Each structure stands twice: as C-alpha cells, then as structure tokens.
Structure 1
C-alpha cells in the first residue's frame, strides 16, 4: 500500500543517487520516513490512508522493516554471487541527495532528526541526505490482493507467466521523508526509474502497484502519471474500522 511521493514544490528538483547496498541505519531511516508520511497525511485530512499513530510506535514495526526490507533485500542482492536459493525475492532501493562538498548544502534544512550517510569520495568526505525508499518483490502479490476474488484471474495469469519465464514485479511501498521539504521533489520519479531497470534486469514484463483511492484518487493519478494503468478497485475489510479503499494498477509492457 504505497505512500505518496508527491511534491507540489516549484523549486528545482535535486539530483538523486539510488543506493542498492543497504546498511543497518536504513532501518531507522525507513521507519522515520513512514512516520513523516503519517504526520503529513493527517495534516492534509488524509488520515484514512494510514491512521494517525506513528509507525515507530507500533509493536514490531521497526523489526519488520529491518528483517523484511533491509536484511531480506541484502540477502537477495547477494544471492546472485553465492548461488543461494532465496525464497523472499525482495529489493529495497534508497534515494539520496548529495549535500556534501561541491553540492547544495540543503538550503538551510535543519539537520535535527534527518538521516544522512557519510561516504569517502576520493579522500573527500561527502554527506548524502536520505530522501526516499522503495520496496519491490519479484513474483509476489500481497495477501489482500490475492484474497480478492475479482483478481483471481489476474493473479493466475501472472503465476502462469512466471512459469514460462516472464516474472512480474510488485511495488510493496514507496515512501519519502516529508521532513526534508522541497528536497523530495522528483524522488518518486527517480525511484521508479530504478524499479523499471530492476524489472528489466529480472526479465519481468509487468509491474504492479496498489494505491489508496481516497482523497479523490490523487495518489492513483500520481501513479498514472508515472505510466501505470488502473486495473480495478478493491476494499480491504478491517476489524472495527471502515474498509480500506484501494485500486490496483499495472504497467506493461515494460
């Protein structure tokens, strides 16, 4: 259930570098990015998407980010060289903006609470501001999609295509850190570029994502602007809460 990576800022977008090798500190960044989305969504009257409780306060969430998004991604990334059979074929990509020597220092952004990575670039210490992340799976559908009777034929066709050497890729989530302000502008497009490259590397023919369809479908339209086409609406039933309205989208051929 992807979060918005939308920005209405008119400032010039920064250039992003997409990092593939994850580090333990990425767990903290991804969790903080989720929290920033919750605060933003609540502020724009869209709490229906993810509620109002920070993800960092939910039992087990940070552990899940570490195990299912960071550790699992590194396991799959390294499986090609080790020949290890990996059940969870998941990759996480981090978008960063260089804010060290020779780069914009961030237009006065308050460093408090923001996540930076420091790297040595030819003897020069460079800082990278962590801005966004995307998590993708190969040959996978979330349970709330597989359990929808209306998507049974689509899921079946995807599994048949996989058996014929044409896998699909599913975007589990794409988030950005709203606290970085205009530095977010363009991060969704940058991350999507890497997702499409990854899909091509894996021989995938179809890319799937699902979106919250509340707030007049603004997030759905954002994904359509990236090249996705709507498949159909769905509802996720929740105990003691209104159903969660969503829309499944796809992109093919890649």
Structure 2
C-alpha cells in the first residue's frame, strides 16, 4: 500500500506570490482533464487570459484583506448569525519532498533551492461568505435560515504527481473545520457536472450531496453544466 501523503496548510497570500502559482497549477489541470474526457470543464488556458489571472489575484487579495479584518474564524464575526459577505479564506496545501524526488515537471522550479527537503505546494482552496452569482438559481447569495460558507475554488497541482494525491480531500477537511469554527452547519459549493457527473461523484465521495443543477450560457448554442453540492455537520 502506498504511503499516505502528509500535508501542511497555510494561508495563500499575495506576499508569497501565491496568485502566480495558482494560475500555473490551474494550467496543469488541462492535460489531466483531457485524459479523462473532461476537456469541456475548462476550455481555455488560464495563464493566457489576463482576465483569469486577474480573477485569481483578486481571490487571493480578498483573502488577505479578510484575514486582517477577521483574523479568527468564530461565531463572534457573524452578522445576525450570517457570515460577512466579505469573509474569505484562501489556503495552500504543501508537502515536504526530498529534493532528488521532486517530479520532473517541477524540477526546474526548485533546482536552485539549497535544501535537502523542499516544501512544494500541491493544492489550493478558496472559501467565501457568499455564493457565486451563477449558482443563484439553486441557492441564494446567503441563506438567513441556514447560513453557509461557500467553496469557491478547489484545485490540485497535477505537476506534483503522486505527491498531490489526497490534497483535495485534506483541504475539504479544512473547509469543514472552518464551518464548525464559525458555528455554522453548511458548506456549499459547485462543480462541473459533465462527463457523466464524474466530478459530482468525487464530491459525493467526500461527503457532499448534490442539491441542484444549473447551466451558465457560454454562447447561443452551448452552456457550462454545473451542480451545487452541500455538506452538513
């Protein structure tokens, strides 16, 4: 049996240049998605689009601002029992790897590091205090009766190969702890439902339940097929 990866977690920050790594890791998902028949999940290379790069930078910047404004996640920051709409948390999962074992796809990136063991980022997650606009046919911006935090972004760096295995599940564990720390009972998020709902099945395997489908028009003929998922304490 392969050993279980042991991850460390930290806040993603602009100061650490994490927005650049987020985009590189996002790019790394495209060959994997093509290999499993999920090309339509992302139809562009994020690093080639200034809008995508700016979007990621804003995600990390929002987390920086929120971490300063709300340094501790607790019920004390809730407004009438509801997370502040500007609450956000960006996380990076990393793993310690012997320098000689670093995957080829990342070797150049760490070749100049003068250490025997290198900490490499392998996964990323962004949480926020409101839902995304495109899912509001299924859930509102926020639910006053059953408030939630929203999983905006979850990603694995496929350049890391086997060292990234399990990072998504580990990050979801952190998201569930954030829910509990805030005194809430719900974690919501969304994912692509194409390719036989394969990604929906992944989230269901992590304890989240599909609660509604939606479609985001891309042009007159096509739309992006999504599904809202939910975990409850």
Answer yes or no: same fold by TM over 0.5. Answer: yes
Q: Give the conservation status (yes or no) of the 8 Å contact 1:167–1:202.
A: no
Shift of 1:108: 4.7
Matched residue, 1:47 = 39
Which of 19, 23, 26 is residue 18 of structure 2 equivalent to? 26
The residue correspondences of 1:145-224 to structure 2 (distance < 5 A) are 145-146=135-136, 148=137, 151=138, 154-155=139-140, 158-161=142-145, 167-224=147-204
Matched residue, 1:131 = 122
Flag the 1:135–1:81 CA change in 2: closer, same or farther, 3 A: closer
Matched residue, 1:107 = 101
The residue correspondences of 1:81-120 to structure 2 (distance < 5 A) are 88-99=86-97, 104-105=98-99, 107-110=101-104, 111-112=106-107, 114=109
Q: Give the conservation status (yes or no) of the 8 Å contact 2:85–2:128.
A: no
Distance 2:4 2:172 in 1: 15
Distance 1:250 1:115 in 2: 38
Which shows bigger deviation, 124-133 or 237-246?
Answer: 124-133
Q: Give the conservation status (yes or no) of the 8 Å contact 1:115–1:130.
A: no
Flag the 1:108–1:93 CA change in 2: closer, same or farther, 3 A: closer
The size of the alignment, in residue pairs, is: 221
Matched residue, 2:210 = 230
Specify every segment of 5 or more residues in structure 2 that has no aligned partner in the other structure, as ranges.
Answer: none
Deviations 1:18-53 (A, max 9, x none): 1125233101110011101123212333111111x2
Q: What TM-score, normalized by structure 1, do the two folds share?
A: 0.77
Q: SS state of the match for residue 210, structure 2?
A: strand
Shift of 1:189: 1.2
Shift of 1:155: 2.4
Residue 65 (structure 1) aligned with residue 56 (structure 2): yes
Matched residue, 1:7 = none
Shift of 1:12: 2.5
Specify every segment of 5 or more residues in structure 1 that has no aligned partner in the other structure, as ranges.
Answer: 1-9, 119-123
Flag the 1:223–1:213 CA change in 2: closer, same or farther, 3 A: same
Distance 1:214 1:98 in 2: 34
Flag the 1:125–1:217 CA change in 2: closer, same or farther, 3 A: same
Distance 1:144 1:36 in 2: 25
